[in-house]
Amino acid sequence: MDQQSIEKRERTKTTIIIVVIALLAVLSGVFVALYVTAKAGKTAADERYRAYAESNYRKSYYALLYNVDGLEGAADKLTVASGKALRQEYLSDVSSYATAAAENMSDFTPDEGGDSKILKFINQVGDFAKYLDDKLNKGGSFSEEDERTLREIAAAVRDVKQSLVALSEEVEQGDFSFVDTLRQKDSEFTKTLRSFEEKEVDYPSMIYDGPFSDALSDKTPKALSGETISEDRCKEIAAKILEIPKNSEISVKDGGKNIFETYDCEVQTASGVAYVTVAKQGGFPVSFSLPEDKQNGVHIESSDAERYAENYLAAIGFDNMKAVWASLYDNVYYINLACTRDGVILYPDLVKVKVGGSNGKIVGMECLNYIYNHEERTLETPVVTEQEAAEAISEYIALSSCRLAVVPTKGGGEALTYEFYGIKGGENGDKYFVYVDAVSGEELKIMRVLDGERGLLLQ
């Protein structure tokens, strides 16, 4: 091979090497780009998954709070209920809340083997409720052991509820993350979850049928009557509700139709923008709201707020309304008023009124219960005496007052009852309203008074 051919071959090899190097450089760049893109995609996917997981954890946490709160309330009421029907109602509630709480809790349970004591405790509570319900269905009654177990369950669930509520302040901080917290074995949240494992309750062997559910009937607006009113007539009614001049400038629009048709009104007042809802049929007032003065403190007593609310309802056409409940929250009194007849409280005919604590001004009203339930009634005559009715109530409650009241029942019915008020556990103990059927003498309902963040509540 001559020298020229050799040089040509070398130039060709050099060219090929350069091309290969160039191609490798290009491919290297492509691979780097693909790696960076893949890594970025993975990071984005991880972030999406993290956000999705965090959202689900938060939903489960707040659902858990709700269901444990309901479980605690129902379990507590079982410790003072004595009638079979009422006991079965609360047993059903315990079972339902326990089932839901167990489902919420499973989202936070790291135990993959299914042997978590956390879930075991909640499931046992639900199972025990079903066991007792089956026992009552077969004609049996609660034994002393059953009563003891119920008290232990109520105490244990109360402790768990308080622990979960105590975590709310931490959970609601902007930088709190369930995803990160659940990885930490020594976090307050995981410690609280482990507190379930410390609850030791002895349960008997359980045999039960499935839980039962109740269906509610549809509502009809019994209080509405008359022809459909005009927009001009609606303005007059709104002015009366707000206690402003009739010639005030009020805007009116259709409020749409749910169970009944309404007008929605808006008007600028000295206190700010007011909103009023009026039923088209007969012009019955449904609700109104005004801005609340929360800055100037509370300068009126609860009894005065009740009187202002009663006088206001009388002025806009509600007869024989009596304040039956008052609670103060954030400088505003929330007053529940019920229609009365011959000294009997008619709880289905309820109207709620908000009274400013600084000046006694009426700043809100809502009367849907009244609209749905108010009608002319033929009241029953009590068959059992007050003393006989009191005998149906647990000995653990010290009774202090009683009055006759008509209360709503499941399925849309009503019952004449004795409403007893009492305290369990001494002067500073838990407070209850207990309703005993004035005809049959059976307990119908127990309501516990709670001093919560939003004032006094009934559970």
Q: pLDDT by residue (tens digit) across 313-348?
A: 999 999 999 998 888 877 888 888 999 999 999 988
Q: What is the pLDDT of residue 119?
A: 65
Q: What is the pLDDT of residue 23?
A: 41
- Dist. CA 146–CA 81, nearest whole Å: 13
Measured CA distances, 320 to 211, 310, 339, 350, 368 (Å) = 42, 9, 6, 12, 17
Question: Do the domains at 216-291 and 386-458 have one common CATH topology?
Answer: yes
pLDDT over threshold 90, residue 459: no
Q: What is the pLDDT of residue 290?
A: 84
Q: Give percent of the chain above pLDDT 70.
A: 75
Q: How many residues does the chain have?
A: 459
Mean pLDDT of the 58-71 span = 83
pLDDT over threshold 70, residue 449: yes
Residue in the structure block whose two tokens are 């009563």 = 147
| Dihedrals phi, psi of 34, to nearest 5 degrees | -65, -40
Mean pLDDT of the 229-239 span = 93
Among 201, 181, 38, smallest CA distance to 110 is for 181
Extents of the domains making up the chain: 45-198, 216-291, 293-377, 386-458
What's the pLDDT band for 64 if we cut at 50, 70, 90? Answer: confident
Chain centre distance of CA 331: 22
Q: Domain 293-377 maps to which CATH number in 3.10.450, 3.40.1000, 2.60.40, 1.20.120?
A: 3.10.450
| Dihedrals phi, psi of 330, to nearest 5 degrees | 55, 45
Distant-in-sequence, close-in-space partners of 407: CB < 8 Å, separation ≥ 6? 347, 348, 414, 415, 417, 419, 435, 444, 445
Q: Based on the number of CB atoms within 10 Å of its own CB, is 358 exposed (0-12), middle (13-18) or buried (19 or more)?
A: middle
- Average per-residue pLDDT in the chain? 77
Q: What is the pLDDT of residue 297?
A: 75
CATH class of the domain defined by 386-458: alpha beta
Question: pLDDT tens across 406-430, in order?
Answer: 988 876 788 999 999 999 887 778 8
Measured CA distances, 432 to 73, 74, 323, 365 (Å) = 12, 13, 18, 26
Residue 248 per-residue DSSP state = S
Q: What is the pTM of this model?
A: 0.59
Choose between 399 and 99: higher pLDDT: 399
What's the pLDDT band for 49 if we cut at 50, 70, 90? Answer: low
Helix and strand counts by DSSP (H, E) for the chain: 11, 13
Choose between 49 and 367: higher pLDDT: 367
Q: What is the pLDDT of residue 236?
A: 93
- Dist. CA 62–CA 68, nearest whole Å: 10
As beta bridge partners, residue 451 has 456
Determine contact, residues 447/459, Cβ cutoff 8 Å.
Answer: yes
Q: What is the pLDDT of residue 193?
A: 65
| Dihedrals phi, psi of 394, to nearest 5 degrees | -55, 140
pLDDT over threshold 80, residue 253: yes
Q: Which fold has domain 216-291?
A: Nuclear Transport Factor 2; Chain: A, (3.10.450)
Q: Which two tokens stand for residue 414?
A: 């009503």
